[in-house]
Chains A and B, each alone.
Chain A
Amino acid sequence: MKSNQYAVKVYETTIDDEEQFIEFFNTNYMLFKDHLILIHGHLSKKIKEYLKSKSLTYLHNVELPKGRNRKALEEEICLVRRESAISVQIAEAKLKKISSKLQNNLTVLDRMIRSGQDINIEGDLLLLNRVNSGATLTIEGNLIITNIVEGAVRCFGNFMMLTTSPKANIIFHGVEVNNDLLKNKLNRVELKNNEIIITPVLKKEISWA
């Protein structure tokens, strides 16, 4: 890449009277011939032709960066640095908040979910008590229930862990799980490649009697 850096002098103006402008330029042509002409407001065809005939370079309705002295530049650099430091801090705080949310996302409940109760939980849930008939649990995350479920469960997480639940109404990602598949003591229900897989964790105890 080939590049060059240099300063240009700019003559900035707004044209009110065209004749006056042309006259002014004619008289001061020597002064302005190496300037970049910056015109704001209306630019007529007559003026365009005039500028062309004098082979002057011009820009119309453009905001140019203003040159500043060294002190101002240093101040700006300082400000930018400070701002970037602040934004780094904000980003770090956000990250911290998200990670703490991930860590505290697990809700542990040890109370009975009674008939008519409607529980919605955004994260994961570990439930150590029963879900009675007529109650509804909706879980966005993963779910582990160590006791019997007789009510309804809606789970949208990656996996569920359930005990034998012959009376429950269990819906995993919108699919009703057949209660006959949950006959082991502890069952794992997982979503793998859009397929629901049910595996026994603790097998049904064989009664020898």
Chain B
Amino acid sequence: MGIIIAVISGKGGVGKTTATANLGLGIGLNDQKCVVVDFDIGQRNLDMILGLENRVVYDMVQVMDGEASLKQALIKSKVSKNLFFLAASQSKDKSVLVSSKVEKLVLQLKKDFDFVILDSPAGIESGFEHTIEFADAAIVVVNPEVSSIRDADRAIGILDSKSNKVKQGEDVAKYLIINRIVADMVESGEMLKSEDILDILDIKLLGKIPEDRGVIDASNQGKPVILDKKSIAGQAYTRISGRLCGKQIDMKDIEISDSGLFKKIAGMFR
């Protein structure tokens, strides 16, 4: 029996899909069986970021409707034998999702995999609600800016009222990933500090990811940034995946820029 984790954000463009792809791969590289499911029906992107776009034959909606079996639709990652991918339908829209079919699908996946990661669509509409409905845990991805924080806050509010687990009187575990942190801007006070974000959202911190130009290129090439050992964002994703797999990894303070430290040391010798 695995765990179902929904990756949510409320606001679009904060890095949900990138985080899903990288964490999926990171978990796979930690020798745990993982499946990533794209729930953004009609606007699928996860296949491209994983570099699997030309392998998609059957999608999630066809599996739910019984037109294809789960085995036929699951796509194995080129990089890790432990990572599988289930694509969203590109031709349909979010209205095709029905609670009972979603439940059947995710529970089937939960039986076969250690981690089932659901990539939620942006917004708080039906697609989002179906993603969180059967989730055991949620990873909330935010950028250090007020609009992203407010939308995430709203998404958490809905998660706390509409998820199946909450309705049964249990708690949904919620973890925060702060994405695209620019150390210089945090130091100069232009960007929100992670303590402030944690104050507002009041959930556990899973990790911080620094802004990294390499992420865009990695996504375009279909090679998630976690595979680039030199990338600072990739290293952050490696740490977060390790934490998800139960390893004790300390938080790295990425909010102090190297140049700032360098300047300080240089100042001492002046």
A166 at interface, CB cutoff 8 A: no
> Which residues on the A side are within 8 Å of B158 (C-beta)?
116
CB atoms of B202 and A116 under 8 A apart? no
Give the docked Cα–Cα distance between A129 and B199 (Å): 10
B150 at interface, CB cutoff 8 A: yes
A179 at interface, CB cutoff 8 A: no
CB atoms of A130 and B200 under 8 A apart? yes
CB distance from B236 to the nearest CB of A (A): 26
CB atoms of A117 and B200 under 8 A apart? no
A132 at interface, CB cutoff 8 A: yes
CB atoms of A114 and B156 under 8 A apart? yes
CB atoms of B157 and A133 under 8 A apart? no
A115 at interface, CB cutoff 8 A: yes
CB distance from A135 to the nearest CB of B (A): 8
- A127-152 interface (Cβ within 8 A of B): 129-130, 132-134, 150
- A37-86 interface (Cβ within 8 A of B): none
**Max chain B CB contacts within 10 Å: which of A117, A129, A132, A150?**
A132
CB atoms of B154 and A115 under 8 A apart? yes
B146 at interface, CB cutoff 8 A: yes
A112 at interface, CB cutoff 8 A: yes
> Which residues on the B side are within 8 Å of A114 (C-beta)?
153-154, 156-157, 160
- A98-122 interface (Cβ within 8 A of B): 112, 114-117
Give chain A's interface residue range (CB within 8 Å of chain B).
10 to 19
Closest to B147 in A: A133
CB atoms of A133 and B150 under 8 A apart? yes
CB atoms of A115 and B202 under 8 A apart? no
CB distance from B70 to the nearest CB of A (A): 35
Give the docked Cα–Cα distance between A133 and B157 (Å): 12
> Which residues on the B side are within 8 Å of A115 (C-beta)?
150-151, 153-154, 157
Give the docked Cα–Cα distance between A132 and B158 (Å): 14
CB atoms of B157 and A117 under 8 A apart? yes
> Which residues on the B side are within 8 Å of A130 (C-beta)?
199-200, 202
Closest to B160 in A: A114
CB atoms of A134 and B200 under 8 A apart? no
**Max chain A CB contacts within 10 Å: which of B149, B151, B153, B154?**
B153
Closest to A134 in B: B150
CB atoms of A112 and B202 under 8 A apart? yes
Give the docked Cα–Cα distance between A57 and B202 (Å): 90
Closest to B158 in A: A116
CB distance from A174 to the nearest CB of B (A): 26
Give the docked Cα–Cα distance between A92 and B34 (Å): 66
> Which residues on the A side are within 8 Å of B199 (C-beta)?
130
Within the complex, which residue of B153, B156, B202 is in contact with A133, where a contact is CB–CB below 8 Å?
A: B153
Within the complex, which residue of A112, A116, A129 is in contact with B154, where a contact is CB–CB below 8 Å?
A: A116
> Which residues on the A side are within 8 Å of B149 (C-beta)?
133
> Which residues on the B side are within 8 Å of A150 (C-beta)?
200
B interface residues with partner A (beta carbon < 8 Å): 146, 149-151, 153-154, 156-158, 160, 199-200, 202
Q: List 8 A-B contacts (CB under 8 A).
A: A112-B202, A114-B154, A114-B156, A114-B157, A114-B160, A115-B153, A116-B153, A150-B200
A interface residues with partner B (beta carbon < 8 Å): 112, 114-117, 129-130, 132-134, 150
Other than the given A116-B154, A130-B199, 18 more pairs (CB < 8 A) read A112-B202, A114-B154, A114-B156, A114-B157, A115-B150, A115-B151, A115-B153, A115-B157, A116-B153, A116-B157, A116-B158, A117-B157, A130-B200, A130-B202, A132-B150, A133-B149, A133-B150, A134-B154
Shortest Cβ-Cβ A-B pairs, 10 listed: A114-B157, A115-B153, A115-B154, A116-B154, A114-B153, A132-B153, A115-B150, A133-B150, A134-B150, A112-B202
